[in-house]
Structure 1
């Protein structure tokens, strides 16, 4: 049984992870971190990760970017693998994560959905071929409380497209006023409203036809399941930087 410490257990995603874990025979959430956790939570909840005195195999984080450093400190002291499900990290934080992975086991993915990562793999194979004759646009939609824009997933997909294309391409975040499109632009458009869980659409617009790849998250459970599968994958890792592709390829 893999014992998980869930950082952000009182948030919307944290609660979904708790429910999803009940369906996993090999995973148990044994402790949580949250300043405002519901008292009905059955496992011990600490206001700070430094106060956690429960033995765990993996840390799963669904919180905010500013929790990163305390998580890494805990991981370093306890030699515990980390699964980062949070987005919106700064360049300095990403550099910290990459450097940390040289001596510790850490997992980071902009989106925990298996479906999104399947689409991401498709983009690796088709983007360079389509680029010459198609304009590329990305549209992402999320609920009105999401903090970062564009979403981490939109940037994940966009970076995959950029890496596949030999020519230098640039992101254009929305358009306003007089703005004739240049071919090397990758348009990224963020929509925020209501309770949208997450939608990502990649459009290849050519002369006389368009090709569209779209993923719609109907429930937050898809992200929770991905995080729990990542926990199983990471439990025995000692160092290295991993992502959802590693989980998919391990099957």
Structure 2
């Protein structure tokens, strides 16, 4: 995400990039970036920044969040793969600082979230539901954070559902309270998500395809502008989009 986001931030007249963080020993350490340079120690840039943006991994994100909360900075988090316990820790930190968290910052995907909620509400339990996500072969977590959120949205509307990640070895028909979630990892696919509602004789498919990481980066810019004057709290892209309208 950094390679897509950095050039965009540098183009914004109302933003200033003061540094970046990479792992210890990374070849980009000490490379100039914006008004600062890439470092291995997040603490070394805390005095210069107002907002931190992170797309890393759960372990690194939680360690960084502790530093950011102590410094009372604002935090935009797009890391996926958190456990429910880890998410609870992040939400607890939002009592101290403002946090915008989303598994997907694409504007289109966040419209997909809303359409999925509306469709589930209209169709009720009469239609079966399947979720399919496709990403590049280097993506580590499966299913994607976006697919998990789509499942949670449907479950919030229709009540408790049983998630089924694979039908391999199953010999019984699909039952009404199941939602299948499938993952494909191949090539350089940026991200595709399908929510399929079906019954005998008809099918509705909600589809979002990202062809460039710029789609996510544009959403992050909107989140940066959203959070700059917000009090402590846990925010999502739904609030960011609401402020845009």
TM-score by length of 2: 0.92
Counterpart for residue 104 of structure 2: 111
1:29 aligns with 2:17: yes
User: What is the RMSD computed on CA atoms of the aligned residues?
Assistant: 1.5
- Offset of residue 63 of structure 1: 1.0
| Distance (Å, rounded) in 2 between the aligned partners of 1:37 and 1:77 | 29
CA distance in 2, matches of 1:225, 1:195: 20
Counterpart of 1:217? 210
- 8 Å Cα contact 2:18-2:45 kept in structure 1: no
Corresponding residue for residue 172 of structure 1:
164
Q: After the TM superposition, list the runs of 4 or more consecutive aligned residues in structure 1 that deviate by more than 6 angstroms.
A: none
What residue number does 1:150 align with? 143
In structure 2, distance between residues paired with 1:212 and 1:202: 6
**Residues 137 and 202 of structure 1 are in contact (CA less than 8 Å); yes or no, is this contact kept in structure 2?**
yes
Aligned equivalent of 1:10: none
Structure 2 distance, partners of 1:229, 1:19, is 15
- Aligned residue for 1:119, secondary structure, equals helix
Question: Unaligned 5+ residue runs, structure 1?
Answer: 1-12
Distance 1:176 1:47, change over 3 A: same
CA contact 2:125–2:158 (8 Å) conserved in 1: no
Q: Which structure features the higher share of helix residues?
A: 2
Please give the secondary structure, in 1, of the residue aligned with 2:126. coil
Q: SS of the counterpart of 2:208?
A: strand
Superposed counterparts of 1:4-23, under 5 Å = 13-23=1-11
- 2:116–2:153 CA contact under 8 A, matched in 1: yes
TM-score, with normalisation over the residues of structure 1? 0.90
Bigger Cα displacement from structure 2, 41-50 vs 132-141: 41-50
